[in-house]
Homo-oligomer: A and B are copies of this chain.
Amino acid sequence: MSFIKTPAVPVESINPKVKDCEYAVRGEIFNHAQRLQEELEKNPGSRPFDEIIYCNLGNPQALGQKPITFFRQVLALCEYPDLLDSDETHKLFRLSSDAISRAKKILSTLTGKSTGAYSHSKGVKGLREMIADGIALRDGYPANPEDIFLTDGASAAVHMILKLLIRSENDGILCPIPQYPLYSAAITLHGGTLVPYYLSEANNWGLEVFELKGRLDWARENGISVKAMVVINPGNPTGQVLSESNQQEIVELCRKEGLVLLADEVYQDNVYVKDKKFISFKRIIKSVYREDEISLVSFQSISKGYYGECGKRGGYMELCGFREDVKDQIYKVASVNLCSNTSGQILASLIMNPPKALEDAFNSMEGVSCQKAEGAMYLFPRIKLPNKAIEAAKKASMVPDAFYALRLLDATGLVLVPGSGFGQVPGTWHVRTTILPDESKIPAIVSRLKAFHESFMREFQD
């Protein structure tokens, strides 16, 4: 018989794993900042600064970045599909009938055609299929929708996998130092051991195999069974983009040592330098190994990239090289929480399938190169105009790209804006087009564009 005198839970009685867990991004400094903000609101001028600027978190929409219009139009239409039947809506969305057709397509895949129904515990199957298509396009290797688990942000996926892998403090997870503190916090919460490896600052924060091997041996000598290795690429907080050869070394190490590779690839759309590009670990693996040689989990999030939809809590993990019985266990854990939120699921399908048919079309044309649309709703392809076309434009007293746009309009009915209206490096020529026409009209637009461009280039061949 026990009588407890203090019925309110004393902090000494709680799970020590919870007590031990630390999370720097929203830790003491953040709490103090919130107190300072309240103080400044009550007593302006009480501090030597007027406002608190939160640089602790990648939270672009908190700092005024606008969400991508196309994404939000699709979301609004999915939340309130009555809008789809209204004349006013078609007027409102007149510049973006693509959003309307995409929303219809997405709604048709949802359970009960509603965002308000629990979905499959991995996420809506149709949305996983769209994501699989996006992954296949990115990597050049197919993706299986059944291996994709949609989650409330990538953090939830990381928790699921760590929960699966960690049995006790004798199970270790190799983590980069510096790391994103989700990993240290989650490993502590799930009762495992973080086995640190240091990123090489001298080597542009790359991974060094001898360092990894040394840490691994040390851990094993100390009775720790190392189950997995976390690699964050592009890096957080270090910002590096790993080289392909470094990625290959990492993959080979994981294969040899039987480590699950946990690839945090949530910054895949945040590569800012021209000479670096993101290559997924899946692509590295698929180009060299058999399916069952390495177990990989790739994490992606809607909170990063040009989209920055942090508050919507969407993300996914793709599993490669996992056995069916283990995938069944992950599915079971996912099913305990029923499903992730449908807005986040929809956004995950959108970030992996942004409207892009026009971009491909431009890049397939002779003398035209077009950057990927990473934000807003426009493409600004560069057109290498032949000298004869430039001379013809001069004769007509027109800027060359305006001359091109006018000929295009006359020949096809397509309205584009000459790049000269926006400013461009002298001697380069562009046109600007919205990416928002109705998806069903894109093929016709593309074929007209191509036919015109070919005949234009023939006409003015140097």
Contact = CB atoms under 8 A, between A and B. Distances in A.
Nearest to A73: B80
A300 to B, nearest CB: 16
Interface string A67-78: 101001101110
Given A79-B75, A88-B92, A189-B163, A342 B295 contact: no
A18 B334 CA distance: 11
A58 B292 CA distance: 39
| Interface range for A | 35 or more
A182 interface: yes
Contacts of A40: none
A245 interface: no
A137 B6 CA distance: 30
Contacts of A426: none
Contacts of A156: 152, 337
A329 B2 contact: no
B8 A295 contact: yes
A69 B14 CA distance: 43
Contacts of A322: 8-9
A340 to B, nearest CB: 7
Contact of A164 (B14, B332, B333): B14
A6 B117 CA distance: 40
Contact of A220 (B1, B77, B220, B329): B1
Contacts of A256: 3
A84 to B, nearest CB: 11
Contacts of A16: 167
A181 to B, nearest CB: 8
A211 B344 CA distance: 44
Contacts of A9: 165, 227, 260, 295, 322-323, 326
Given A9-B323, A341-B343, A329 B18 contact: yes
Contacts of A378: none
B21 A220 contact: no
A412 interface: no
As for how many copies of this chain the complex holds, the number is 2
Interface stretch (A230-238, A310-318, A356-364, A437-445): A310-318
A310 B118 contact: yes
A371 to B, nearest CB: 24
A117 B59 contact: yes
Interface stretch (A44-52, A107-115, A276-284): A107-115
Contacts of A338: 26, 57, 153, 155, 310, 313
Given A258-B4, A292-B8, A332 B92 contact: no
Given A333-B18, A341-B152, A116 B67 contact: yes
A8 B323 contact: yes
A293 interface: yes
A186 interface: yes
Contact of A57 (B115, B118, B152): B118
A459 interface: no
Nearest to A92: B88
B326 A14 contact: yes
Nearest to A342: B311
Contacts of A89: 88, 92
16 contacts: A3-B256, A6-B258, A7-B258, A7-B293, A8-B322, A11-B323, A14-B165, A16-B167, A57-B118, A61-B112, A64-B112, A75-B76, A92-B92, A116-B310, A156-B337, A189-B336
